[in-house]
Structure 1
Amino acid sequence: MNRSLWTAASGMRGQQLNIDTISNNLANVNTTSYKKQRVEFKDLLYSTIKRTNLNDNQGRPVNLEVGHGVMPVATTKDFANGSPVETQNPLDVAIDGGGFFAVATPNEEIRFTRDGSFKLSVDDGERILTTSEGYYILTEDEDVITVEEGMTDLNVDQLGNVTARNEDGEIEELGRLAIIDFPNPQGLLSDGSNLYKTTEATGEPIFVEADQMKSKVLQGYLESSNVQIVEEMVKMITAQRAYEINSKSIQTTDEMMQQANNLKR
C-alpha cells in the first residue's frame, strides 16, 4: 500500500510544477515577445509482477505490472508569434516570423531576443541603439548602430536595414540588424530580461542574409506575448483537479492502512 502513497506524491509534485509554469505564463501575459511554456511528463519505472508467457499460442498474453508515478522531464517553449501591436514609436521593431535580434552584454557575451523595444543610449557622446537595459543591438557585421547628432527620420525596412536622414538632408545607411536563427530554438536557455543564450542543444547560430529573409521586420510595432489567458485558465483548472485527485489518493490509502491496523483477530 505504501507504493500508492509515493505514486500519488509524485503526481502532486508534478502538478505543482505544472501550476508554477502556468502561473509564470499568466504573470507574463503583457510581457513583450514572451513565449509561453508547457510542462512535459513521463511515467516512471514499472514493477513487473508477472510477465507474458506464451508457448504455442497458449499462456499469459499480458503483463501484470504496476507503475511508480510520474516525472516532469521538460518545459517546452512555444515560439509561435505573438500579435504585432502598433506603437507608432520608430525605435520599436518586431519580427513577423522566425528569428532573433542579437544583443551584446557588458561582459561582451552575445544574447538573443525578440523584444524590439529599442532605445537610444548615449555612450562617450555617441547615440547608440540599445535595449532597455543598455545592451548594444548588433548589426550583421557584429557592430553597433550609431545615430549621429542631428540625424532624423530613423527608418527600419522589412529586411532590417536601418537608415536615417543626416543634417544635409541625405539618407545615410547605419547598418542592418542582425537576424539570427537556430537549428533548434527549443534548446535556448532563458536568461531573464527577455534574453536567451545558446546551449549545445541549439546548434550554431545562423545569420539570415537579406536575400534569404522569410520573416519581416516591422517598424513601429512590438510583438505581444503569445499567452492565451483562456487556454491557461483551462490548464490551471485541469492541473488543480489533478492535484486534488492525487491528494485524495493519499487520503484513501491512509484510511485503508488505518483500517488494516485496526483489524482484530
Structure 2
Amino acid sequence: MIRGLYSSATGMLAAQTQSEVIGDNLVNMKTPGYKEELASNISFPSMLIERMSGSQDSVAVGGMGTGLGVDRLTLSNVQGSIETTDVNMDLALTSPGYFVVQTPAGERYTRNGHFQVDGAGMLRTADGYALQGEGGPIGPISSEFRVNADGTIIDQGQNAGRLRVVEIPAEALQREGQSLYNSAQPVQVSAGAQIRQGAIETSNVDLSGQMVQMMSVMKAYEANQKVVQTQDEMLGKAVNEVGKI
C-alpha cells in the first residue's frame, strides 16, 4: 500500500519537472538561437514479486515498478527558422555548428547571432562576450564589415579574419543562461560552416508540440494525484474503521 503512494508521488514529481521544462521552452520561444529542451523519463529498478504458499515453493507473480523519475535533459539540435533582419551585425548559421565566444568562465558556444561592435571595434554578443575567430577575438573592425558565406570577414577591403564555428553533439550540450552553451565533450571545428549576414536564427521550439506535451503531462499528474488520494482514503479506513473490529 505505502509502496503505491511512493510510486504515484514520484510520478507526480516527474510530471512537475517535465512541466517546468516545457514552461522554460515556451518562455524562450522568442530567444534567438535557443534550443528546445527535452526531458526523458526513466523508471526506478523493478522488483520481482512472488506469492508464498504454505510449502517452501513460491509462485512468481511478476514485476512491480518502484517509481518514476526524469532521467536527463537533452537539447534539440534542430535548426530554427532563419529570419531576415537586414541588420549588418546579425549573423545566422545555416549549417550545423555554434559560434564561439569568450566568457570569464572560458569558451562558450551559441547560435544567437545578434552581435554588436563595441567602442573598441570588437565584435561582441549582447552580454559583452567577444566573438572568436580562427585567430582569436574578431576586431577591431568597423560596423560596415561584410561576412562571406564561409565566415570570412571583410572590412574596408581587407581580410579581418574568419569566424570560428564548432560542431557539438546534442547530448554533450549543457545550457548556461538562455542561449549560451557549454560542452561536456571536446568540440570539433566545423569544416563546412555556412553563415548568412543580415539574418538571425530564431528559437527552434515547436509550439504545437509543446502544447501537446503539456496536456499529456497534466493528465499524468492528475492521474497520479487521484491514485494518491484513493490510497490515502484506503489507509484512513484501514486505520480508523478496520482497527475498531
TM-score > 0.5, shorter chain as reference = yes
Aligned residue among 102, 106, 124 for 1:130: 124
* C-alpha distance in 1 between matches for 2:95 and 2:19: 29
State how 1:64-213 maps to structure 2 within 5 Å: 64-105=62-103, 107=104, 109-122=106-119, 126-148=120-142, 153-165=144-156, 171-182=157-168, 184-199=169-184, 202=185, 204-208=186-190, 212-213=191-192
Name the residue aligned to 1:246.
224
SS in 2 for 1:97: coil
Identity, % of aligned pairs? 29
2:172, 2:209 → 1: CA distance?
24
Runs (5+) with no aligned partner, structure 2:
52-57
Once residues 228 and 206 of structure 1 are traced to their aligned partners in structure 2, the CA distance between those partners, rounded to angstroms, is 28
AA paired with 2:26?
L
Question: Which residue type is aligned with residue 186 of structure 1?
Answer: E
Tell me the equivalent position of 2:12.
Answer: 12
Aligned to 1:259: 237
CA contact (8 A) 1:139 1:145 kept: no
CA 1:258/1:74 → structure 2, altered by over 3 Å: closer, same or farther? same
**TM-aligned CA distance change 1:245 to 1:112, over 3 Å:** same
Distance 2:178 2:135 in 1: 24
Q: 1:136 is matched by which residue type in structure 2?
A: A
Q: Distance in 1 between matches of 2:61 and 2:40?
A: 26
Residue pair 2:35, 2:179 contacting (<8 A) in 1 also? no
* Helix, strand or coil at the partner of 1:30: coil
Question: Counterparts of 1:193 and 1:27 in 2: how far apart (Å)?
Answer: 10
Q: Contact conserved, 2:97 with 2:167, CA < 8 A, in 1? A: yes
Q: Which amino acid in 2 is paired with 1:142?
A: G
Secondary structure class of the residue paired with 1:73:
strand
Shift of 1:50: 2.4
Contact 1:189 1:198 in 2 (8 A): yes
Deviation string 1:144-200 (CA, Å, 9 cap, x unpaired) is 32115xxx74211110011122xxxxx111110001113x3421221215211222x
Q: Report how many aligned residue pairs link the two structures.
A: 237
Q: Is the contact made by 1:43 and 1:69 (CA closer than 8 Å) also made in structure 2?
A: yes
Q: What secondary structure sits across from 1:89 in the alignment?
A: coil
**Which runs of no fewer than 5 residues in structure 1 stay unpaired?**
52-58, 166-170
SS in structure 2 opposite 1:71?
A: strand
